[in-house]
Amino acid sequence: MGIINADTVRNETAYFWGSRTSTIDWCEENYVVSNYIAEFWNTLTNLTTVILALLGIYSSIRYNHGKRVTAMYAGLLFVSFGSMSFHATLKYTTQLLDELPMLYLCAISLYSLVEIDKDVKFGLKLPAMLAMFQTAITLIYIFWIQHPAFHQAAFGLTALGTIFYAYKRLVQINPCNKTQRALSRAHLLGHIGMWGGFFVWNIDNIFCHQLRSYRSYLGFPFDALLQLHGWWHILTAYGSTNCLLYVHLIRLAWHKQDQLFAVHYYMGMFPYITTAQPKKVD
């Protein structure tokens, strides 16, 4: 998603992946750090999402929280690999791998909230309907409306459904104070990550020329501090992970298991759900 930046200096056939075929190019100068990676920093910063997704997959499998929860984190991992492929190559095919999995991840989260009980209520009807909608969006985006605004609108529509059901389930579970605090924290951090990422994403688009000038002055590796699309990856990784944690916690509370688990931070930075530590008794 984003604007089309013309990078005529570095986007040459002499480099490993050849000419850019994607409809979008970002503010990071192409093939500056490596001849094999078109946008080095935009590719590298996706590792944040990879780590967070793997922690979520590990947590959901280890504590048997269900295939639907595992599928959410696996979807996030798929998004990160798609984004890495896109920024590394700047090809149209990998651009689709970056953008479309966002839709699928949101649909999986929506399904996890609607089918919150262990026994499915709607059978194959709901996943079939969601699959048909996502397939239609995919085909329209590939063959007809190849514009990021269409993808953004489709994503926003699916996200609204997810937000609606998240609020509905929150009202239904009436969580305890501990779970409510964890949900509030995940909700707040989710918003900070997503809106913070959206802010730097726009700054990167609007002030690209100035940012390139400042980065040229700073030089490698300090210029990475002004690679704002990379910061968008990091911020939205935290934002989207906290959104998934929110859904994860609601499902645990729905099944009366939330007292057994809590959100912890690997290396003090990467959130995931693990067993709650018992309170010390003096």
Residue 58: pLDDT band (50, 70, 90) is very high
Residue 264: pLDDT band (50, 70, 90) is very high
Is 233 annotated in a binding site? The answer is: yes
Is 204 annotated in a binding site? The answer is: no
Number of structural domains the chain divides into: 1
Is 30 annotated in a binding site? The answer is: yes
**CA atoms 122, 151, 71, 170: torsion sign:** negative
Residues 110, 162 contacting (CB under 8 angstroms)? yes
Is 242 annotated in a binding site? The answer is: no
- Report the pLDDT value the prediction gives residue 153, as an integer from 0 to 100: 87
Is 26 annotated in a binding site? The answer is: yes
Question: Residue 252 falls within a domain, yes or no?
Answer: yes
Question: Residue 32 falls within a domain, yes or no?
Answer: no
pLDDT at 6 exceeding the cut of 70: no
Distance CA 204, CA 202 (A): 5
Full domain range(s) for residue 206: 40-275
Residue 13: pLDDT band (50, 70, 90) is low
For the segment 130-159, what is each residue's pLDDT rounded down to a tens digit?
999 999 999 998 888 877 788 888 888 888
Question: Residue 14 falls within a domain, yes or no?
Answer: no
Question: Residue 248 falls within a domain, yes or no?
Answer: yes
- Report the pLDDT value the prediction gives residue 145, as an integer from 0 to 100: 85
- How confident is the model over 163-179, as a mean pLDDT? 88
Residue of 70, 63, 74 whose CA lies nearest to 257? 63
For the segment 89-126, what is each residue's pLDDT rounded down to a tens digit?
999 999 999 989 999 999 999 999 999 998 888 888 99
Q: What is the mean pLDDT of the chain?
A: 89
Question: Residue 218 falls within a domain, yes or no?
Answer: yes
pLDDT at 17 exceeding the cut of 50: yes
Question: Residue 16 falls within a domain, yes or no?
Answer: no
Question: Residue 34 falls within a domain, yes or no?
Answer: no
Is 99 annotated in a binding site? The answer is: no
- Report the pLDDT value the prediction gives residue 282, as an integer from 0 to 100: 37
Residue 127: pLDDT band (50, 70, 90) is very high
pTM above 0.85, yes or no: yes
- Report the pLDDT value the prediction gives residue 1, as an integer from 0 to 100: 41
Question: Residue 2 falls within a domain, yes or no?
Answer: no
Which CATH number characterizes residue 185's domain? 1.20.1070
- Report the pLDDT value the prediction gives residue 281, as an integer from 0 to 100: 38
